């Protein structure tokens, strides 16, 4: 009769929501273990990087990070009046593709002048440019 379709849909959606709710513990547990494994990998990678750097550089970086994290919001000026450095901000200008092409062409010319033999018929710079063109297409 009337409303059967609606009741049927409600039953299906209700079952789906109930199943999702009852499986939430298993889902969260598996996500927890996945996150734990990822955290351990990241921690090992961070420790390896930290061990490979000079200790004074690591101490300086840690000091900058602690100052940034402890600074009140908005993080513009510290109590001593000095501007706080954002350790996560990148203020570097990157090369344009035209600049990369010029630099690679210069490297190829230097390799030819020095008589460095080719392992195949394509110079490394030309190979990189072909890869960039392939990526754009």
The residue written with tokens 């080719």 in the block is 118
The residue out of 92, 107, 123 marking a domain boundary is 92
Provide the domain limits for residue 37: 4-52
Report how many domains make up the chain.
Answer: 3
Indicate if 11 and 36 belong to the same structural domain. Answer: yes
Indicate if 17 and 32 belong to the same structural domain. Answer: yes
Indicate if 45 and 27 belong to the same structural domain. Answer: yes
Indicate if 84 and 118 belong to the same structural domain. Answer: no
The pLDDT > 90 percentage for the chain reads 42
| pLDDT tens-digit map of 90-121 | 777 888 888 888 888 888 888 888 887 777 77
| pLDDT tens-digit map of 25-59 | 999 999 999 999 999 999 999 999 999 999 999 99
Q: Rounded to two decimals, what is the model's pTM?
A: 0.47
Indicate if 9 and 44 belong to the same structural domain. Answer: yes
């Amino acid at each position: 009769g009337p409303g059967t379709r609606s009741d049927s849909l409600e039953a299906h959606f209700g079952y789906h929501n109930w199943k999702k709710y009852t499986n939430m513990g298993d889902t969260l547990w598996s996500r927890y273990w996945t996150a734990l494994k990822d955290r351990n990998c990241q921690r090992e990678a961070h420790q390896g990087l930290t061990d490979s750097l000079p200790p004074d550089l690591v101490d300086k970086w840690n000091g900058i990070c602690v100052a940034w994290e402890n600074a009140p919001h908005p993080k513009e000026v510290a109590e001593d009046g000095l501007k706080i450095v954002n350790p996560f901000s990148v203020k570097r200008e990157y090369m344009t593709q035209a600049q990369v092409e010029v630099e690679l062409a210069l490297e190829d010319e230097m390799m030819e002048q020095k008589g460095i033999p080719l392992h195949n018929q394509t110079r490394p710079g030309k190979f990189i440019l072909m890869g960039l063109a392939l990526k754009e297409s």
